[in-house]
Structure 1
Amino acid sequence: MGDCRPLGFLVGLPFALVAVVLAVVGAIIWVLGTVLSCLCPCCICCAALANFAMSLIKLPFKVISWFTDQIPC
């Protein structure tokens, strides 16, 4: 029948807005981790920090997808 789940989008919107704020924080952490790993390549924890920040940046898309999948058509 297709993707006719507008209710899931509306219910998930407040949570997605919180996730967008976390994504901005993740972007800042990613930039700092990238700069630190370029300055001192021996710090492996900076690379792990940058990977964690990338998961924060992808969070809004995961939240909206999860909410739209939970609402039946």
Structure 2
Amino acid sequence: MGCCDDCECRPLGFLLGLPFAFLSLFLSLIGIIIWIVGLALTCVCPCCLCVTVIVELALCLIKAPIHVMKWFTEQIPC
């Protein structure tokens, strides 16, 4: 049995995406800082809607390495 039916195991896509995941890890660290500052600002002034949008954007930055690895593994066939 060579490859599984769903082709979930794609080591080549994982290895190719690893350097880009490390680069997006730095974006994730920036996202954590933005998230902490934005969360503190929303506690001080909850009526400020633009801070909430920035916090949501920071959460997307935090999840960036996961999205990068998922995209690379989906691009490479079994």
4+ residue runs over 4 A deviation: none
More helix per residue = 1
TM-score with structure 2 setting the length: 0.88
Q: Deviations for 1:25-66, whole angstroms, at most 9, x for unmatched residues?
A: 001100100000111112111111100000001110010011
For structure 2, the 5+ residue unaligned runs are none
Paired residues, what number? Answer: 73
Q: Distance in 2 between matches of 1:52 and 1:4?
A: 30
- TM-align CA RMSD: 0.9
TM-score with structure 1 setting the length: 0.94
Q: Give % identity.
A: 52
* Structure whose alpha-carbon radius of gyration is higher: 2
**2:35 aligned partner:** 30
For structure 1, the 5+ residue unaligned runs are none
